[in-house]
Structure formats: C-alpha cells, structure tokens
C-alpha cells in the first residue's frame, strides 16, 4: 500500500454563506448535535494544540465537556504537559473532525482555568473509577511500568472504600474563550468550502469565505 495513493473524495454536501447562521456558537451547536446523532464516533473528541516555552506546538485529543456562550470546557491534570504549557501561554486551538459529515471545526482562543467549584461539580459526575484514575496519574510524568499505576489505584480503592474520592489539587477544568471559528466542509477535487468567523469591530461576527 502506497500512503501517497490513499485518497477519499468528499461529496456529501456543500456549504454556502446562506447555510450559516450569524452566531458561530449556534452554528457549532447545530453541527455538533447533528454529529451526536450518528451511531458511531465521539462527537466531543477534539484535538487541543498548545505551545511550549520553546515555541514548539504539541497536540493531543481531549474531550469537550461543556459548550455555551462563554466558551468550550475540558478537564485535565494541571501538572500535565498541556497544563504546564497553558500556564505559560494561554493561546490554544481546538479541532473537531467529524468524518461522517466530512466536516471540521477549528476554534482559536485563550484558555483560562475554571473555578474550583465548577471543577468539583464535574469531578463529582465522573464515574468512580475515573475519579480514582485522576488521583493516581501524575499525567505526563515518567512511570516504571503499568503495574506501578495499578498498585497505586488499588491503594486508593482501599483507602477510599465506602467514601467519595476527593478532588485533587492538581486536577480541574479549562474554559477556552474563542477569538476565531472556522467551519470546513469537504468537497470534490479538494475545493473544500471554508468559512471563518472573526470578531467585527462594529459588533457581532464577520463571516468570510476562505480559499481551500
């Protein structure tokens, strides 16, 4: 198999200016809910890109856990690589790739920590195993082997038997406040449809078509 010969034509739909609503938050909601009705995939899976102190980018897949007029929320370990990079540079990008609709959404913005109360509220909603896992993992640090992690998990299961695991100080949420949206629809011959939303100095959002 030649990687260079792998190719897929996108022909499900087009995207015109008249198809877009004026509010990018609402446009995101419409596309997200359509994808969420699909039988497979994780509609809230998004690629988060951060930038380190040396200017080098790093990316990973995280899960969107809230979206409203304030922005987009996810939760993680503050001591992880992404947490350390966000502490030094709050500029981020988020990318959703929804294969079933041949669509992507890219969001640029700045990330800030959520309140401790909001982090606690979401932490309490997680399955017990996920809460204990968050307490075990010093994310991005070097560990000797998997057995080490499983031993730590067993210790915590014993320690907190019959009681609720507490929210770790090193774990919580981020809110990404968008400064730019881009909505992408795959088209034949790689002549994709792309529209960006940027803040309009006069108020609202400016919507512009971009070359593919």
Q: Considering the domain boundaries, does residue 142 fall inside one?
A: no
What does pTM read for this prediction? Answer: 0.94
Specify the pLDDT at position 209: 98
Specify the pLDDT at position 43.
94
Q: What is the mean pLDDT of each run of 10 residues along the chain (212 residues)?
A: 92 97 98 90 95 97 97 98 98 96 97 98 97 94 95 96 96 98 97 98 97 98
Give the span between the Cα atoms of 111 and 196, in whole angstroms: 20
Whether residue 190 lies in the annotated active site: yes
pLDDT of residue 39: 80
User: How many domains is the chain partitioned into structurally?
Assistant: 1
Catalytic residue among 17, 125, 190, 209: 190
Instruction: Say what the pLDDT of residue 40 is.
Output: 74
Output the domain CATH number for residue 44.
2.30.110.10
| pLDDT tens per residue, range 147-158 | 999 999 999 999
**Per the domain annotation, does 133 fall within a domain?**
no
Q: Which pLDDT score, from 0 to 100, does residue 202 have?
A: 94
- 98: tokens are 């929804």
State the Cα–Cα distance between residues 92 and 34, nearest whole angstrom: 25
Give the pLDDT of residue 41. 78
What pLDDT digit, counting tens, does each position of 90-107 carry? Answer: 999 999 999 999 999 999
CA neighbours within 13 Å on the CB side: how many for 94?
Answer: 27
Question: Is residue 175 assigned to a domain?
Answer: yes
Q: Is residue 93 part of a domain?
A: yes
| pLDDT at 24 (0 to 100) | 98
Is residue 86 assigned to a domain? yes
pLDDT at 46: 98
Closest CA to 138 of 76, 87, 85, 89: 76
**What is the pLDDT, as a whole number, of residue 78?**
98
Domain housing 50: 7-121+170-210
Supply the pLDDT for residue 38: 85
Examine residue 2 and state whether it is found in any structural domain, yes or no. no
Examine residue 194 and state whether it is found in any structural domain, yes or no. Answer: yes
111 within some domain: yes
**Residue 1: predicted pLDDT:** 84
């Amino acid at each position: 198999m030649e990687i260079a010969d792998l190719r897929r034509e996108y022909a499900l739909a087009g995207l015109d200016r008249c198809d877009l609503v004026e509010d990018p938050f609402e446009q995101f909601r419409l596309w997200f809910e359509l994808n969420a009705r699909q039988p497979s995939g994780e509609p809230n899976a998004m690629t988060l890109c951060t930038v380190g102190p040396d200017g080098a980018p790093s990316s990973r897949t995280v899960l969107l856990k809230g979206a409203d007029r304030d922005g987009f929320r996810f939760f993680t370990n503050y001591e992880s690589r992404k947490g350390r990079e966000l502490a030094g540079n709050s500029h981020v990008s988020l990318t959703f790739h929804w294969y079933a609709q041949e669509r992507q959404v890219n969001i640029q913005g700045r990330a800030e920590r959520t309140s401790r109360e909001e982090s606690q509220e979401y932490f309490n909603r997680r399955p017990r195993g996920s809460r204990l896992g968050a307490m075990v993992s010093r994310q991005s640090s070097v560990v000797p082997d998997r057995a080490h992690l499983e031993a730590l998990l067993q210790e915590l299961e014993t320690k907190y038997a019959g009681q609720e695991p507490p929210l770790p100080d090193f774990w919580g949420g981020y809110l990404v406040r968008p400064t730019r949206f881009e909505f992408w629809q795959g088209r034949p011959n790689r002549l994709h449809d792309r529209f960006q939303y940027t803040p309009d100095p006069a108020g609202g959002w400016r919507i512009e078509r971009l070359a593919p």
